[in-house]
Amino acid sequence: MKLLLHMCCGPCSAYPIKRLRDMGYEPTGYFFNPNIHPYKEFKHRLETAIEFAEKVQLPITVDREYTLEAFLMSALNAPNGRCIVCYELRLRQAAKFAKENGYEVFTTSLLVSPYQNHEVITATAKRIAEEENIKFLYEDFRTGWYEGVDISKNLELYRQPYCGCIFSERDRYYKKKNKK
């Protein structure tokens, strides 16, 4: 079955790719993440995703679209929090790409992270799958979080210190400073 894995980054894709291959899928990676700021960091993560794909012989498509203004406007105006619109943006694009390119099913590496809102990601992906008329594969990749960390370290991949957007980049310093 042709499966598209939306890759939020290289390191987070390490365990999902292993698990999907163990399950009998031949996944293709798809990088689409205009939520990553600043642009230099976006490029670094994109290059790391390509490096990862080469190291594990994973076919990959990268979408270099970088709609910074649109992302910031939607994140700032999001009534229920910026992460919800961030998941929606990326998963919608992945589902559309999968549908247009003959994939039967899609899933996302976002499901590996214990730091993301797993339930919201799952509900969003299921809704989008129905709306775009494509299957979504749910798998709780969080069980392999530490295994994925080990794989990414063994592959000597760059591991980013914050989620992605400029708000999360601020929070890693600002919140710590305020706690002190």
Positions touching ligand SF4 (CB under 6 A) are 35, 75, 82-83, 86, 163-165, 167-168
> Do the Cβ atoms of 62 and 46 come closer than 8 Å?
yes
Closest distance to ligand SF4 from the beta carbon of 166 (Å) = 8
Q: Residue 7's closest CA among 129, 110, 155? A: 110
User: What angle is formed at CA 100 by the lines to CA 32 and CA 36, rounded to 5 degrees?
Assistant: 5
Residue 165 annotated as part of some ligand binding site: no
Residue 86 or 98: which CB sits closer to ligand SF4?
A: 86
List the structure tokens of 26: 């031949």
How would you classify the pairing of strands 2-7 and 105-108?
A: parallel
In the complex, the smallest distance separating the C-beta of residue 36 from ligand SF4, rounded to whole angstroms, is: 7
Cβ of residue 109: shortest distance to ligand SF4, in angstroms?
Answer: 12
State the Cα–Cα distance between residues 12 and 176, nearest whole angstrom.
24
Of the pair 56, 120, the CB lying nearest ligand SF4 is at 120
Of residues 18 and 92, the one with the C-beta less far from ligand SF4: 92
Tell me the one-letter amino acid at 174.
Y
Query: Is 80:90 a contact under the CB 8 Å cutoff?
Result: no
- The annotation status of 163 as a binding-site residue, yes or no, is no
Q: Which is nearer to ligand SF4, 46 or 83 (CB)?
A: 83
Q: Give the shortest CB-168-to-ligand SF4 separation in angstroms.
A: 4
Q: How far is the CB of 24 from ligand SF4 (least distance, A)?
A: 30
Nearer to ligand SF4, 19 or 45 (CB): 45
Looking up tokens 């649109």 gives 70
**Residues near 70 by beta carbon (within 8 Å), at least 6 away in sequence:** 34
Name the binding residues for [4Fe-4S] cluster: 8-9, 83, 86
Name the binding residues: 8-9, 83, 86
